[in-house]
Structure 1
Amino acid sequence: MNVTELRSRLLGSTMIAGLTVAAASLALASAAQAQSAPQDEASRIDDVVVTGSRIARQDYAATVPIVTVDEQDFQATGSVTIDTLTNDLPQFVPAVSSTSNNPSNGGQANLDLRGLGTNRTLVLMNGRRIIPSNANGTVDVNLIPSALIRSVEVISGGASATYGSDALAGVANFILNTNFEGIRFDAQYGVTDRDDGVTQSYSVSMGGDIADGRGHALFSISRSLREKMFNSSREFSSISGRSGASPLGNTVFDASNLPSQAAVDGYFGGTGLSRTQSFGFNDDGSLFAYEGVRNYKSPGGIDFDGFAVPGTDYGYNTGALNYLQLPLERWNTFAAVSYELTDNIEAYGELLMTDYQSGNELAASPAAGSTGFRVPVTNPFITPDLAALLATRPNPLNSFRLDKRFTDVGGRNSMNDYGVYQGTFGFRGDIPGVRDWTYDIYAQYGRQEVITTQSGNVSRSAVQRLLDAPDGGRSLCAGGFDFLGLSRLSPECVRYIGRSAVNTTVQEQTVVEASMQGGLFTLPAGEVRFAYGLQYREDTFAFRPDASLAQTNPIVTRPDGGTTGGSEIAGFNPSQALVGATNSTEAFLELLVPVVSDLPFIQQLDLNLGYRAANFDTVGLTSSYKAEIDWLVVDGLRIRSGVQRAVRAPSIGELYAPAGTTFGAIGSPTATGLGGDPCDRRSSYRTGPNAAQVTALCTAQAAAAGAPGYSYTNAQVSGIASGNPDLTEETADSFTIGAVLSSQAQSPWFSGMSASLDYYSIEIADVIAPIASADQIQSCFNANGQNPTYDPNNEFCRLFSRDPLSGNIFNATERNDNLTSLKTSGIDMQVDWRVVMEDVGLPAWGNLSLNVIVGWLESRERQSIEGGTFVERVGTIDVNSAGQTQTFPEWKSLTSLNWSNGDFGAGFRWRFVDEMTVFNSNVVLDATSYFDMNANWNITESVSLRGTVNNITDEQPQTWVPGVQANTDPSTYDILGRRFSIGLTAKF
């Protein structure tokens, strides 16, 4: 340990000790008043804690923007996963979900408040942490037992002072009904109107008093099922995922060893074809040109014909072979027990166990560019057509590049088997003789093990051996490897090159916390209350990849100048082992100070203050704080405002992830946009006013890239991503101000009305992120003024390399760093209205209720690189550096109108997403509305029936090419169409 680290550790310990002394001093100061200020026992029964504070008080009102949804809201979705509802709320930007196949998070359901990142949204269960589900600290809400959810409270803005690291964007607190009494059985079945996408859920919950009322026990078990669907099942997604890597195989001739232009023109019977483009292999051994799809002879089928349109570049249709909806089979078990040992000591425990399987399916493994192969001219499968072109090269005996997609091995399937448990045990109760003080001491341990089984991978070294063999590999496996056209590999050859992999991930979290809270003393305006606590938290993570995924072969230069080697596997990205741990010791103090009361326009003015000191073993001491005002102006009008400083320590993955292969999206070249490789002769860079400087820079990077005919038809580039152990913490400053109105009107039309209006502003500094491949490339070529001299030694240009033979980009270095800033601001509005129909002169048909939640996004700015300009993203849809969609509609809302009359009820929902522009393009996605209906019938006092119809009008998703996945964003837009569900609940 160096001097700086030692100083940080000592300072952190001193700060935490100081906070402890301060809290102890407050306790001693109030102890003298404890005997003379007894509290009415009955008054403490209704004390509550609302998310965002540790202090319990009667009639507590949140001092920060908060939105609450309950069990009935979840049932109205007809879904088996929680994120379906939360993603509809304006406060959330949909993250990876049940429809996220690529990018995928292994079937997990993650929450993203304000679009600031899933790792900056803290998810709690009953006010306590849940074990993270990956190395970046993100929580999978699939772990939460949905059958017991009573409500979800969502607050916006930093909450680190209250809950610790990670709560930069806010908190989603899932509150379970742990006091459940009786027995309840629930079953639900759902299906689309196209008779697919089946979902099922079943649950049994039992709870009641034990030991003559001194304790309570609860047990719940549930099972959920979701059927897999493929993109081919919907017209809008059946042609998607354009790729230059085809099962037919293709080559890009080395720029320094091109066939003669005359030979190319003569073969294709015309002029204007570039010798540097991709040439594919028809199944009869002839060649076709990717540009303009010339001489193409399709084997037939949507995967080959989807993009084979004359006049455009050839593309293989991978999308039809991908999942549109991920499969799911999940078991959730939850048990809770409490027992009063004495009048002041209650022991309690909780056990959460979840086991589920989910996965994703991709098209067959491609090997292209830096992961492709070299074919010697002695290979016996070379046809006369190809041999004739090869012979016209300056060095006719040199090998040539082969790109290939291996459909014979099958699609790439990854199935994840999650085994999770989390146990909590503690003691809570009153502190005798000291006002109304209570304490809570608990220890919590969680463990998650994920077994990931992958199939469809290909051994690059085995394929290369087949290509290099003088007999084309016939001596290595039956039939050898005929690489031109559809391969039709024998089962023996499939086994020879195919590879399966089994990866293991183990994550553990330990939390030990002791806290107390209660009243300190009384001021003229009311009682000063406090909460104080100490916490220790430790996270460990271990990822152990299959040996084949971690294997790399030495990169060897062949005698003819080509290279082979590198990652052993083509298919799922090669991976290296990751083992790491972090821990922190923390102390927090919160005060509720009544300032003024019973004055004109100030019925009550309270100040809520909070501070937390946390000492991390990675970044040392961090501090977070909050100061909030709760002002009851008059009956029915409350003003609330607050400032918060939140922190997030870097996660294990961000710190210690080893270098691994990635394939960053860069888009396709156009004459007007900024996508694709700038050196492509068709891009706006090569045809714009700075074309000469761009060409010179391309040539300096690789002569092939600066050639007049250079083209790059792939929308991805290979790169290297890694962690950074020198990261520091992120900090967020947030400000909120708002008003809460509760109607005081006597009119039955308005007496049941309430509303809230809140403004929020959040700014995050030192954001941990890599410079994405697309940003590296665009900055190198001065897209936003970062390289005005077009210097090949510019810092951004040094982040990636080019293959000297082809000119293609590879090794784009995406290393985590504290690089950028994020800013967002907007307004949340919520209106609730309830009316008894008979009271307002309508027929006596029961009650009506209306709930409207609206979000207006004022600003959402992202800084892609350090020192770069802030780019406004309001009204856009974009893909971040992790390949995940980020949607920022200016307006988003969720409206529910419900009717109830005795044993019957019905509801209507309207989900609205404003229009958006695809970032860096002129493509506008129209505003979209979805309408849902639900109904329920209490058949008896014990049995009720419910049903839903979602997306009544069968509204299709907004689509664009290439889209994020399936030509759309499947997390934002409804991709299944009209669907139905029916559910039955029996209570005893």
Structure 2
Amino acid sequence: MSETTANADASDAVSEAGTGAGIVVTGSRINRPNVTAAAPITSVTSEAIRAQAAVNIEEVLNRIPQIAPDSQQNYQDSDGRQRIKLRNLGFERTLTLVDGKRLGTMNGIDANMIPTALIQRVDVLTGGASAVYGSDAVAGVVNFIMNDDFEGIQINGNYNLYAHNNKAGLISDVAGQYGFGSPARNFATDGGRVDLSLTAGTKLFDDRFHISGYVNYRKAALVPYSARETSGCQLVETVKDGPLTCSTSTYTPYGYISPRSGASNGNAYVNNPNGNGTLVPFTDALAANPYDGYSFQREAERWNAGGFASFKISDAAEVYANAMWFRDRSSNPYPARALSYTAYGESPYVVNCNNPLMSQSQAQTICGDLAGTAATAPLEVRYRFANVPDIEDVYLNKGLRITGGLRGSFAEGWSYDVGGVYARNRQATTWGEPDFDRVNNSLNVVNVNRTLTCASVVNGTDPNCRPFDAFSPRSTINDSALYDYLVEGNFGTSTTINTLYNGIATVQGDLGTYGIKSPWAEQGVAIAFGAEYREDKLKSFADEIWREQNGGSDAALSQHVWEGNVELQVPIIERKKFAHLLQFNGAYRLSKYSSNPDTFSTWKAEALWAPVADITFRGSINRAQRAPTVVEAFQGSNISYDRITTAYNDICAPTVTYVTDPRTGVRTAVYGSPTASREVCAATGLADNLYGSTSLVCPDEVGCTVRRGGFAVDPETAYTKTFGVVLRPRFVPGLTFSVDRFLIDLNDSIGYNDYDYFSNGCLATGDEFFCRMFVRNADGTLYSAPGGNPSTGFIRGGTTNYYKSKSHGWDFQGQYALSLGSAGRLDFDFAGSLTTYAGGQDSPILAKYNCTGYYGGGCSQLIPKWTHSLRGTYTTADRFFSASVNWRHLGPLTNVSNSGDPALGYTQAGERETFYRIGAYDYFDLALSFRVTEAFSFRVSANNILDKTPPILPNSYNYGLSRSNTLSARYDSLGRILAVGATLNF
């Protein structure tokens, strides 16, 4: 039950994939059955995926040490899509493939469209692979190899749930001070998830035609924050090492009221919880828990479907195609509320002072002397409704990916593959909120024949209006009907469509057929030529309601690229003394993007030397480049302007202080020296005679100008080096072990920096890197008339190439298979990663920083120095039963406040005494499998079998964008998982 493989030789992988034209070798377009991998590859097999009881792809990937964990299912603000991040270098720097071809556009990828039941293995190649696959493969490649040769009928099912013991702890103690409910001492069984797949396939016409298809259904139940003691409230620490509090909300079911006129103007009240019709001062004791209903596990429902087909006409021509389709609906719940008027603008709500829902005391507080009259008074109302469904932020993702082509051999030793990919991902986001005018109408209530009625119903302006009793705790009015009225028809939708058109042609040949080979080698030189065209399109639009509530504008973006590449494998020595194998591999690619005037190139060079069969040394160097995504390219080229009226003055202009004469009120400008030196100002392109000139001062009515866009964003460049050794000692049969050093250095990284980044950097250093962003007019000024699209008179800002990122470390992999004879066998699989450097340098004036082992500040990737996974599996000789135990280890993390490194933001005054360290975490998983018959197998498993509670951190949103008081992407945050599964074959 192999989970990882050192993969010094890819022949095992090839044997799994089958033989012939369909072979997939990750990291190469040359499909040699005995190809040897010069770069380390980690693989996860289908057996390991079943042992994990994985329902979706993210659960498979999060256990691979080289992949930065990402848990979209436990992320409240997720858009429902799963992307992959290698070496902590960002989603956009990892290329995701299915059977060697792109899954989709970088902006539209959703890896969860891949059904886990059909995955044959997952290959993870870390390090640059742009020369083979094109842009995006800066950090590496994740290649999903599918079972496209399936025969028969298979039903596969998994069901799992959480079984967690909520023990009373820190959160219970703090939440109890606010009267927030807590699930402490409650054994929770929740969060059920189901994954069902039906797969069928057959071969016809003497096995020349193969067709298979699948349908996959997944569903996950909501687990709210309130279901866990550890997320009973959002823990807040406002002062370092200070007292702990809970986040509170004025949106209380008691009803928050604040008059906006009269003697009580600005005072904050809530309706007395005892319901006696009085207002009492608002305090934290009467506040609400704002996040109790948030998703700890998001509710989601997904359908995946697809199929594979191939028809071998002859050795010279095989037609192939496959399709993948999905529909996924997920949602984030938010409390159903009547929002503050400040959410809409500056005009308060108004209430009629003779509103029968107000008591005399309430009317007196809100209206003063006008109480009981038909006059209106302005007020603030905030209300959390009771007994109504939460409002939902809904994401509906739909996608289609079709690949196809023609492949075969056309001469002795030569083959071809001409095909392409069409991928389309459509995401519709729907969100709504109560309508301001309807809230206002519902507060204007009169008594008509002893029936409480909106005044707007009486006068006919809004016949659907429902009275809003904002003056009672937990309103006795039909909350559901009222809330439906407030939000009905007020949900807007924003839609984004990402489309990929990708054509690929590859011709490969074994030149050994023609005698072109080294005199000391058995194999000949292998070569592959390729040509590729890709076009990425992004279209976004929204309905009128969305635009009214959220602003923005429609967009239609596009960029394309033409590429050509060549790849070479040259065995130099084989099976000789002191050289069981000596081989060189190389690749080169030229790319021309429509978004950039220049052509750029990438390349790789690899070498392997095995002095004996037991030991192989390997090394590679890659020059990988990532062109900007279609969004980044648009941000770089699309021109927009901004005025800086009060926040900025030209660093080369005199400082300005305004003095007002108290007698006359006349305002006079007093000028001082510029903040920058003459040398720095010269670096910005300012003539020496204009230094300190008052003409450089940005006029109040104009302000200095910032121009964002109008410039090409160049590709970022990464140099990836790997050096390692693979051991397969003959004196220990069944053992394979590898150690690899990786060094990824990314230059000219693409990112967003506004004008102040460049202005402050220029002021501090005078370096061209910063100062060239000043684009002055001939008279030296930095203000212009944007309407004419000026070419001078501004400071640049926006998406640009800036500085450096690095990821360095060691990878360790091992496998050991031990035969026990008639008693069965033992298999051990190990994968570990030691990160020595994860950081970089954000600009020439800033120090290099290393976030390995730290969290907080700028270290948001949460990278322990050491992580590993070790799985041991026992299988009986008849393969009826297997038992597998997995040990997952995460090294400790320390807050940057206690790092001792000023480059990470450390200061002695900021050093913490509490909540500054997360100790090492160890998780243990158990899986039992029973092959009852050849056609039926059954399995049970438990992940995090000891139900280890995740680490607790106040202000967790600042560290991991989670309000659950932990780092849910890194740790098992919901507790123990119990799973059952079965596979039935016909």
Question: What's the offset of the Cα at 1:63?
Answer: 1.0
Q: Secondary structure at the match of 1:967?
A: coil
Alignment of 1:232-311 (within 5 A): 232-240=226-234, 243=247, 245-248=249-252, 281=270, 283=272, 286=279, 288=281, 293=284, 296=285, 298=286, 304=287
- Stretch of structure 1 that moved more, 916-925 or 232-241: 916-925
Contact 1:50/1:61, CA 8 A, preserved across alignment: no
* Counterpart residue identity of residue 247, structure 1: Y
User: How far did 1:252 drift?
Assistant: 11
Q: Give the SS at the match of 1:69.
A: strand
Q: Is the 8 A contact 1:735 1:761 kept in 2?
A: yes
Partner SS, residue 92 of structure 2 = helix
Given candidates 190, 205, 211, the residue that maps to 1:196 is 190
1:983 alignment partner in structure 2: 981
* 1:737 and 2:723 are equivalent in the alignment: yes
**Counterpart contact for 1:597–1:605, Cα < 8 Å:** yes
Aligned pairs (5 A) from 1:347-362: 347-362=319-334
Cα displacement (A) at 1:451:
3.4
Residue 208 of structure 1 is matched in structure 2 by 202
3-state SS in 2 of match to 1:247: coil
Q: What corresponds to 1:231 in structure 2? A: 225
Tell me if 1:917 matches 2:918.
Answer: no
**Equivalent AA in structure 1 for residue 36 of structure 2:** A
Q: Does 1:446 align with 2:407?
A: no
The within-5 A match list for 1:523-672 is 523-526=518-521, 527-551=524-548, 569=549, 575-597=552-574, 600-620=577-597, 621-656=599-634
CA contact 1:331–1:355 (8 Å) conserved in 2 = yes
| Secondary structure of the corresponding residue to residue 813 of structure 2 | strand
The alpha-carbon deviation at position 56 of structure 1 amounts to 2.2
Q: CA deviation at 1:234?
A: 1.2
**CA distance, structure 1, for counterparts of residue 896 and residue 53 of structure 2:** 33
CA distance in 2, matches of 1:109, 1:338: 29
Q: CA RMSD in A?
A: 4.2
Q: CA deviation at 1:64?
A: 0.9
Identity of aligned residues (%): 26
Question: Are residues 1:932 and 2:932 paired?
Answer: no
Which deviates further from its counterpart, 163-172 or 493-502?
Answer: 493-502
Q: Does 2:67 correspond to 1:92?
A: yes
Instruction: Give the corresponding residue for 2:517.
Output: 522
Counterpart CA distance in 2 for 1:404 and 1:470 is 21
How far did 1:638 drift?
0.8
The 3 A distance-change label for structure 1 pair 722 and 372 is farther
Bigger drift between 611-620 and 518-527 goes to 518-527
Matched residues, number:
777
- Measured after TM superposition, the shift of residue 946 of structure 1 is 1.2
**Structure 2 residue aligned with 1:24:** none
Q: Distance in 2 between matches of 1:117 and 1:191?
A: 31
Which residue of 863, 874, 881 corresponds with 2:852? 874
Cα drift, residue 373 of structure 1: 4.2
Q: Output the amino acid matched with 2:402.
A: G
1:125 to 98, 114, 136: 98
Instruction: Please give the alpha-carbon distance, in whole angstroms, between the structure 2 residues aligned to 1:251 and 1:161.
Output: 64
* Alignment match, 1:416: 395
How far 1:540 moved relative to its partner?
1.4
Q: Which has the larger radius of gyration?
A: 2
Match of 1:458 among 434, 458, 463: 434
CA drift of 1:170 comes to 0.7
Q: Residues 188 and 482 from structure 1, CA distance in 2 versus in 1: closer, same or farther, beyond 3 angstroms?
A: closer
Q: What are the within-5 Å matches in structure 2 for residues 630-779 of structure 1?
A: 630-656=608-634, 726-745=712-731, 750-771=732-753
- Partner-residue secondary structure (3-state), 1:632: strand
1:190–1:286 distance in 2 versus 1, CA, 3 Å: same
Compared with structure 1, are the counterparts of its residues 982 and 917 closer, same or farther at alpha carbon in structure 2 (3 Å cutoff)?
Answer: same
**Partners of 1:763 and 1:390 in 2: CA distance:** 67
- 8 Å Cα contact 1:245/1:368 also seen in 2: no
Structure-2 residue corresponding to 1:317: 289
In structure 2, do the counterparts of structure 1 residues 726 and 939 end up closer, same or farther at CA, with 3 Å as the change threshold? Answer: same
Asked if the contact 2:835/2:864 (under 8 Å) is kept, the reply is yes
Q: 1:488 to 1:659 in 2, by over 3 A?
A: farther
Q: Tell whether the 8 Å contact from 1:186 to 1:986 is kept in structure 2 after alignment.
A: yes
2: CA distance between counterparts of 1:368 and 1:240?
25
CA offsets per residue over residues 602-647 of structure 1, 9 Å max, x none?
3322121111111111124232111111222221111111111212
Provide the C-alpha distance between the structure 1 equivalents of 2:51 and 2:307, rounded to a whole number of angstroms.
Answer: 26
Displacement of 1:941 after TM fit? 1.8
Q: 2:835 corresponds to which residue? A: 857
CA contact (8 A) 1:91 1:855 kept: yes
Contact 1:49-1:60 within 8 A present in 2 as well: no
d(CA) in 1 for partners of 2:46, 2:967: 27
What is the CA–CA distance in structure 1 between the aligned matches of 2:454 and 2:137, rounded to whole Å? 57
Q: Relative to structure 1, is the Cα distance of residues 327 and 857 closer, same or farther in structure 2, using a 3 angstrom cutoff?
A: same
Q: Relative to 1, partners in 2 of residues 1:451 and 1:389: Cα closer, same or farther, differing over 3 Å?
A: closer
**Structure 1 pair 74–607 and aligned structure 2 pair: CA distance change class (3 A):** same
Contact 1:631–1:639 under 8 Å retained in 2 = yes
Q: Which residue does 1:943 correspond to in 2?
A: 936
Moved more, 79-88 or 372-381: 372-381
Name the CA distance, whole Å, in 1 between partners of 2:981 and 2:729: 36
Aligned letter for 2:527? F
Q: How does 1:51-130 map to 2 (within 5 A)?
A: 51-102=26-77, 104-105=78-79, 107-130=80-103
Structure 1, unpaired ranges of 5+: 1-42, 265-274, 299-303, 305-315, 392-398, 552-568, 661-719, 788-793, 796-812, 839-843
Q: Against the structure 1 CA distance between its residues 487 and 61, is the aligned structure 2 distance closer, same or farther, given a 3 Å change threshold?
A: farther
1:142 — aligned with what? 112
Is 2:639–2:710's contact at 8 Å kept on the other side of the alignment? no
Alignment of 1:346 onto 2:318? yes
CA distance in 2, matches of 1:129, 1:461: 49
Whether the aligned pair in 2 keeps the contact of 1:369 and 1:403 (CA below 8 Å) is no
**Equivalent residues of 1:632, 1:639 under 8 A apart:** yes
Deviations 1:566-625 (A, max 9, x none): xxx3xxx65543321121111111111234456653332212111111111112423211
Contact 1:525–1:604 at 8 Å: present in 2 too? no
Matched ranges for 1:37-48 at <5 A = none
Return closer, same or farther for 1:210/1:51 CA change in 2, 3 Å cut-off.
same
The answer (yes or no) to whether the contact 1:373–1:464 under 8 Å persists in 2 is no
CA distance in 2, matches of 1:643, 1:900: 40
CA contact (8 A) 1:287 1:385 kept: no
Deviations 1:531-589 (A, max 9, x none): 111111112122222322212xxxxxxxxxxxxxxxxx3xxx65543321121111111
Q: 1:405 to 1:582 in 2, by over 3 A?
A: farther
Q: Is the 8 A contact 1:378 1:470 kept in 2?
A: no
What is the DSSP-based 3-state SS (H/G/I as helix, E as strand, rest coil) of the residue aligned with 2:733? coil
Quote the Cα distance in structure 1 between the aligned partners of 2:760 and 2:20.
66
Matches within 5 A, 1:490-509: 491-492=481-482, 495-496=485-486, 499-509=490-500
1:168 CA drift (Å): 1.2
The answer as to whether partners of 2:58 and 2:71 remain within 8 angstroms in 1 is no
TM-score after normalising by structure 1: 0.71
Determine the C-alpha separation between the residues in 1 that align with 2:313 and 2:349: 80
Residue in 1 that maps onto 2:697? none
Distance 1:215 1:626, change over 3 A: same
Cα distance change on mapping 1:322 and 1:346 into 2, 3 Å:
same
Distance in 2 of aligned mates of 1:377 and 1:186: 60
- 1:195 to partner: Cα distance: 2.8
Q: Aligned match of 2:25 in 26, 29, 50?
A: 50
Structure 1, residues 896-935: CA drift from partner, whole Å, max 9, x if none?
Answer: 0000002111100111111212444742122111111111
Q: 1:46 to 1:602 in 2, by over 3 A?
A: farther
Distance (whole Å) between structure 2 residues aligned to residue 722 and residue 200 of structure 1: 47
Alpha-carbon distance, 1:983 to partner: 1.4
Distance, in Å, in 2 between the alignment partners of 1:962 and 1:437 is 61
